[in-house]
Amino acid sequence: MSEHPVPSAGVRLASAVCSTEVVVVRVADPTVVIECGGAPMRAAGTPPTPGAAPAPGRDGGSLIGKRYGGADAPVELLCVKPGAGTLTAGGHVLELRSAKALPASD
Amino acid sequence: MLLEMVADTIGDRIAIGSHSDGTTYAELLATARRGAARLRAHGTERVAYLGLNAPQLPALLFAAGAAGAAFAPLNYRYTDAQLSAAVAALAPAAAVLGPGAAGRINGGNGVDRLDADALFAGPDAGPDAGPDGEPAFVAPDAVAVLLLTSGTSGPPKVAVLRHEHLVPYVISTVEFAAAGPDEAILVSVPPYHVAGISSVLTSVYAGRRMVQLPAFAADAWVELAATERVTHAMVVPTMLGRILDELERRGERLPALRHLSYGGGRMPLPVVERALRLLPGVDLVNAYGLTETSSTIALLGPDDHRAALASDDPAVRARLGSVGRPLPSVELQIRDDDGVPVPAGVSGEVWVRGEQVSGEYVSHRATTADGWYPTRDRGHLDAGGYLFLDGRADDVIVRGGENISPGEIEDVLLEHPAVADAAVLGVPDTEWGERIEAVIVPAGAPPAEPELQEWVRARLRSTRVPARVHVRNALPATETGKVLRRLLREELGAAREAIG
């Protein structure tokens, strides 16, 4: 796998600057670069660069179990490991998708 | 992946079993990883499971998923000959025999029997158990689960659910790790039912402790719900009726229970009203879904139940008999026989589209090119978008050119105090094409045929009156309570030939 993988559903990515890991849920634009903490994300299994930290303004953090993206975003991500960086795609912040409060059905 | 997230976050919580001796999420993940490593080493692409609800079931489901193998739970109610045929159809496959299933499946001919205990007993394995030590990647379009449909109106089919159907279903309908530490769900639906699978996935993702009932019996259900202080449960209609009987008999009201969902078949209105009366503090949820749609696609929520019960508006009150509104992530349309969408109030076939909708079988794909799946269920939407189901499209009776849904006649028969159960079907008729016949199970002394015919005439209209009412001790049904109409139809057809 290349250092900055082409996003496709099911691919797992790791932040270069914090502990964040995501799984790509949906892709509308496969050319977009997915970033965390201001730096492009890499294939899962690549540890964060030692000493690196999220860029200023890109340190909003990620929450496990939350989906980031939205209807018009180029990608939707599921955070599977939380971290300190903000998730962005092509420089645009991916919004935290609010959970739909559905009652348990099974 | 889903289990890993939960184990990372709340690993020391109990996932399965009692607070005192249950399995934690961290232990479940370790067990699933050991199983996945063994399955990968074996190289099988399909893992069949035969057994009751047991802690091995969730472990095996996640192990197969992580190993990229399809999980195929088998129906333990099958005869040994039916089981052999089902497993042979899956070969090459590994077969795991759970509790109560020893010796029921033969190895050979591409079927390897694996012992459940040995499968999970190996050395601990990490997540990176691929041959080169690289992170194991399971493609989203890999098959996750193979399930036999219940086949009430035709022979069962093998439905295919892929990771790309199940994962969106779970992450878009369940809030991650949101269950409180006191929450527990009682799982009594058999593992070979889609709700048995989706229940494991959604409970784990929510972080809700699962309490498993190996096989359903009303007294054992009530007993376990009381001792484990169960807060959530999912039941099929026949189960709920029996549970309510048992609660009344014991005077038990299950104070910890606060959420009860039901689905998997037509729920008689009198049973819903009785549940609301007996368990006033419990949130009721009616869920409608199919094997082919990764479980729930429409919901009648607790507030819908209360609003319907409290309303003086007959249209709102009627919603107690609906299956609620489609999930926000699912598109739903009612279409006529030509596939054209019809307006609210008009009956037709229910079509759905969404990421969780598979509509695929081992033999063929039933979806259109643009992803719509015809469910073969008939129904209509009301002005507020609530879905009312009339029954299976294949069960519609065509009498003198008029389409008649058996469901509405069955509902009316069930309101008669002397009728415990009812099925209505079309029987070939030289004059009408099909005529309506009913099969009832009496609640006590069997009511006279003319009395029931008059009962239907007064509430519906004369074209809905069954030409004959047969009395039986029981209706042939699947274990989850769906009437096997195809058997009844054969039976009535055979009786007719014998007479004629």
* Structure-model confidence comparison of residues A68 and B86, the more confident one: A68
Mutual angle of helices B2-10 and B25-42, in 10-degree steps: 150
pLDDT at B148: 84
pLDDT at B498: 55
Do the Cβ atoms of A105 and B285 come within 8 Å? yes
Q: Find out whether B139 and B167 touch, Cβ atoms under 8 Å.
A: no
pLDDT at A38: 95
Closest-CA residue in chain A for B133? A45
Residues of chain B with pLDDT under 70: 128-136, 150-155, 494-500
The position carrying tokens 């349309």 is B333
Sheet with A92-93, strands from edge to edge, namely A39-40, A34-36, A87-89, A92-93
Cα B80 to Cα B86: distance, rounded to the nearest angstrom: 10
Mutant choice from B10, B138, B166, B172 vs A, greatest count of A C-beta within 10 A: B172
Cα B28 to Cα B203: distance, rounded to the nearest angstrom: 13
**Sequence-distant (≥ 6) Cβ neighbours of residue A11 within 8 angstroms:** A5, A23, A24, B137
Hey, is B349 helix, strand or coil? strand
Which tokens belong to B66? 């992580």
Cβ contacts of B171 on chain A, cutoff 8 Å: 25, 67, 78
pLDDT at B167: 92
Which of B139, B208, B329 minimises the CB distance to A10? B139
Which of B5, B259, B329 minimises the CB distance to A64? B5
Q: Is A50 left (phi over 0), alpha (psi -120 to 50) or beta?
A: beta
pLDDT digits (tens, 9 = 90+) for B424-478: 999 888 888 889 999 999 999 999 999 999 999 999 988 899 999 999 999 988 8
Do the Cβ atoms of A9 and B5 come within 8 Å? no
Mutual angle of helices B163-173 and B194-206, in 10-degree steps: 50
pLDDT at A1: 42
Do the Cβ atoms of B327 and A78 come within 8 Å? no
The position carrying tokens 């990608």 is A75
- What chain B holds in terms of domains, given with CATH numbers, is 2-287 (3.40.50.12780), 288-394 (2.30.38.10), 396-499 (3.30.300.30)
Q: Find out whether B47 and B94 touch, Cβ atoms under 8 Å.
A: yes
B349 CA to chain A: closest CA distance, Å? 23
Which of B134, B172, B261 minimises the CB distance to A105? B261
pLDDT at B500: 46
Which tokens belong to B289? 């879904």
Cα B193 to Cα A68: distance, rounded to the nearest angstrom: 32
pLDDT at B333: 97
Sheet with B331-335, strands from edge to edge, namely B331-335, B348-353, B373-381, B387-392
Q: What are phi and psi of B372, to 5 degrees?
A: -80, 140
Cβ contacts of A106 on chain B, cutoff 8 Å: 189, 195, 198-199, 202, 234, 261, 263, 287, 289, 295-296
Predicted model pTM: 0.87
ipTM value, please give it.
0.89
Closest-CA residue in chain A for B303? A103
pLDDT digits (tens, 9 = 90+) for A7-44: 888 889 999 999 999 999 989 999 999 999 999 999 98
Where does B98-222 show beta strands of DSSP type E?
111-115, 143-148, 158-162, 184-187, 209-212
Do the Cβ atoms of B327 and A101 come within 8 Å? no
Cβ contacts of A10 on chain B, cutoff 8 Å: 137-140, 163-164
pLDDT at A2: 46
